[in-house]
Amino acid sequence: MTVSRANAREVRRRASGCCEYCRQLETKRSIRFQIDHIIARRHGGDDSLDNLCLSCYECNSYKGPHIAALDPLTEEPTRLYNPRTQNWEAHFDLQLDMSIGGISPEGRATASVLRLNLPRRIIERHEAWLRGEYPCVKAAADALQ
């Protein structure tokens, strides 16, 4: 099974071009964003819209088939952040230096697995912020909820 074109189109529309993990905006400079299976197929995830999100190339590459990890703070196993069922602001905190802090077990584990705070990724975020492209519009819309 592959994601249908209709579902892929809907995932892109729903996300407004925003990576649902790191909040980078897909631009002409980006490697094309990908449709991520939140629960990987190998773990029983399906191709429904409830299991799909838009992910930048880097977040999707680091996430791979992972669905859980250890919380780096407590070393307790936890599921990764689920953009369909969880609110970004309840799990992550964008710092003034453009790093993304995890503020829940899921947020910390996801920030670690997806390597959200690699120095070059922070620099990219800062540059996007200077252009007025970060965090992307979807983040602003979610913040109002």
C-alpha dihedral, 92 to 122 to 128 to 51, nearest 10°: -40
CA pair distance 128, 27, nearest whole angstrom: 10
CA pair distance 114, 43, nearest whole angstrom: 18
- Examine residue 11 and tell whether it contacts Zn ion (CB under 5 A): no
- Examine residue 21 and tell whether it contacts Zn ion (CB under 5 A): yes
- Examine residue 98 and tell whether it contacts Zn ion (CB under 5 A): no
- Examine residue 139 and tell whether it contacts Zn ion (CB under 5 A): no
Let me know: does 138 contact 16? Beta carbons within 8 Å.
Answer: yes
List the x/- string, 50-89, binding to Zn ion by CB under 5 A: ------x--x------------------------------
The site for Zn ion (CB under 5 A) is made up of: 19, 21-22, 56, 59
